[in-house]
Structure 1
Amino acid sequence: MTEMNRRQWIHTLAGGAAAALLAPTSGLAIEPIVRSSKSPLRLSLAAYSFNSALSLKGKPSMTLSQFIDYAAGLPIDAVELTSYYFPETSPEFLGKIRAQCTRQGLDVSGGAVGNDFCVADPVKRAAQIQLVRDWIAHLSRIGGKSLRIFAGNLPKGDTEAAARNRVIAAIEELAPVAAQYGVFLAVENHGGITATPEQLLAIVKPIRSDFVGINLDSGNFRTEDPYADLAKIAPYAVNAQIKTDIQRAGQKKKEPADLAKVVGILKSAGYRGHVVLEYEGAEPVREAIPRHIDTLRKLIA
């Protein structure tokens, strides 16, 4: 089997249970993901859209279960369930969450964990690696497809090259774990040492694993031309998050995102998978989300 055909085969299986048996054996640095055919994009809603309501730091006004029920009333296919909102991670609780999503006809497109692999202290970095390791297993238990992870922020007095090497080493350590569980690690463009496409690709491309890719966040590049920069990372995306605003370099205020342009970038790159609305706008969330979902539903068709 050729290297390219092997990658196609793995990505075809990754959505099913067989992916859990595959190991990241690629001998090459990561290349743009090859999609074998066109497929309709699937629409998901990120729990982070209700961050203030779901946050466990205060007194949450919404539970994870209530969020799932809310999402089930929308014309969407899946939900993204962020680690921050889980009051516990016992097998029993995770089983209930998975069962609720199944009963409501929703897939779990993925999840997210707030890690930082840039930390220089080896003990603290080991704890960050363990956090992601744990959430790979938790996400697999609820049927999640990809886990959003972060590179982190450059520590004071450190060099970007040194921090980047630590990030790459951490992800390489976790990649075999992700492969065992059939969960993709999706490194997000999230500022810090991933503020530009070149910085993000410098982390992702050297990693020799078919279970590592990019989480394309349409609102996170604060560059002169965010759309052009999104196009640079789209070929490596294993998950795509859509925000309704962008903010260019030098701008003090955000501007409405051209959602048609963002979806067009994904389609041009041959992206197949979930398009996840992560709403962070100023309009009340329950008023804004249904409208944006309707718009995205039409665009991804």
Structure 2
Amino acid sequence: MIQGPRGVSPAKTPAIAALPRRRFLQTVAASAAAVALPRQAWATSAVTPFKISLAEWSLHTAIRAGDLDNLDFPRVAREEFDIEAVEYVSVFFKDKARDATYLTDLDTRCRDHGVQSLLIMVDGEGDLGDPSDDARGKAVENHLRWLEAAKRLGCHSIRVNAKSQGSYAEQLALAADGLGRLGQLAQTFGLNVLVENHGGLSSNGAWLAGVMRRVGMANVGTLPDFGNFRLNGWDEPKEVWYDRYQGVTELMPFAKAVSAKSHEFNDQGLEVRTDYERMMKIVLNAGYRGYVGIEWEGEKPGEYEGVRLTKRLLERIRDELA
């Protein structure tokens, strides 16, 4: 459960004290039920296993080509795909994190199209597991503006990376330190800090789960990605992969968001690299009932059709599991 602002005691809230006994008990019961669920699960229906969101990276080619602007992302999510929730990428509005006018405009566009902002995927702000204490502190400081932006947009989290250097144990300790510092800062905003398996040791499910246990904070969790389990560098010719099903299984106990990465589909509408039905059973068996974010990263077909194919597959599985 995300902690609220320090010094605020729910037991001393005057509005609760003034309620009639019957309504008071109903309020307590409702509050207890909400506390028992992750924030992102509150909006999901009791009869719907999960809802579908759209990660902005799915349209990165169009954005980088200038064919789509970050401000139009919520409209496109709704009008092109009928998707009600979005996940931003910081690099697409990296100079606007503290631009109140810009963020208000973006939030207004979300509201106009009935779209919910879920999280911001933050990259390029320094290594939270840097061996240098000063550099780790600077990386935490660099993420502050994205916490501010996420709060303004009504997100529940920012997604960060756990990049580090050194041995297995050294990197675990360093990443846990940086994430713990950032998690404490995020608590003051009522936000989560989520780590994605994103290359290197972060793509080792056991290692990242160990980082989560080392941090031990309710608002520091994971964002399991179905596809990012390559352990070595992306420019290295020999690929070394961690088992994606094992990795997602290991990360789901700490998950507050999920990324349904897709690359290629066959004639039956199935994703070629990932058994989506198997993966979604892992996700749901872990008790997760939040949004599952489409993240198309393939080359053929184009981005818009790739998103549609991924959504269609997730809807088919959702209907079968409902």
TM-score when scaled to structure 1?
0.79
Q: Does 1:140 align with 2:147?
A: no
Paired residue for 2:23?
Answer: none
**Greater Rg by CA:** 2
Question: What is the deviation of 1:66?
Answer: 2.2
1:245/1:257 contact within 8 Å kept? no
Question: What is the deviation of 1:65?
Answer: 1.8
Question: What is the deviation of 1:108?
Answer: 1.0
Paired residue for 2:177?
Answer: 169
Return closer, same or farther for 1:92/1:296 CA change in 2, 3 Å cut-off: same
Paired residue for 1:31?
Answer: none
Q: Does 1:45 align with 2:62?
A: no
Paired residue for 1:94?
Answer: 103
Q: Superposed, which structure 2 residues align to 1:11-50 within 5 Å? A: 12=37, 14=39, 40-50=49-59
Paired residue for 2:8?
Answer: none
Question: What is the deviation of 1:218?
Answer: 0.7
Return closer, same or farther for 1:168/1:195 CA change in 2, 3 Å cut-off: same
2:195/2:222 contact within 8 Å kept? yes
Distance in 2, Cα, partners of 1:189 & 1:50: 20
Instruction: Return 5+ residue gaps in structure 1 as ranges.
Output: 17-36, 247-253
Question: What is the deviation of 1:112?
Answer: 0.9
Paired residue for 2:234?
Answer: none
Question: What is the deviation of 1:100?
Answer: 0.7
Q: Does 1:293 align with 2:311?
A: yes
Paired residue for 2:279?
Answer: 262
Paired residue for 1:281?
Answer: 298
Distance in 2, Cα, partners of 1:203 & 1:8: 28
TM-score when scaled to structure 2?
0.75
Q: Percent identity?
A: 23
3-state DSSP class of the match of 2:162?
Answer: coil
1:213/1:237 contact within 8 Å kept? yes
Q: Over aligned residue pairs, what C-alpha RMSD do you find?
A: 2.8
**Partner residue of 2:246 out of 202, 223, 228:** 228
**Can you list the C-alpha shifts for 1:127-171, whole angstroms capped at 9, x where unaligned?**
2111222211111110111211110142xxx33322322211111
Return closer, same or farther for 1:11/1:143 CA change in 2, 3 Å cut-off: farther
Question: What is the deviation of 1:212?
Answer: 1.1
Question: What is the deviation of 1:78?
Answer: 0.3
Moved more, 180-189 or 117-126: 117-126
Paired residue for 2:135?
Answer: 124
Q: Does 1:84 align with 2:95?
A: no
Distance in 2, Cα, partners of 1:187 & 1:13: 16
**Partner residue of 1:193 out of 191, 198, 201:** 201
Where relative contact order (Cα < 8 A, 6+ residues apart) is larger, the structure is 1
Q: Does 1:242 align with 2:257?
A: no
**Partner residue of 2:73 out of 67, 72, 77:** 67
Distance in 1, Cα, partners of 2:35 & 2:197: 25
Distance in 2, Cα, partners of 1:168 & 1:40: 32
- Structure with bigger helix share is 2
Distance in 1, Cα, partners of 2:171 & 2:198: 15
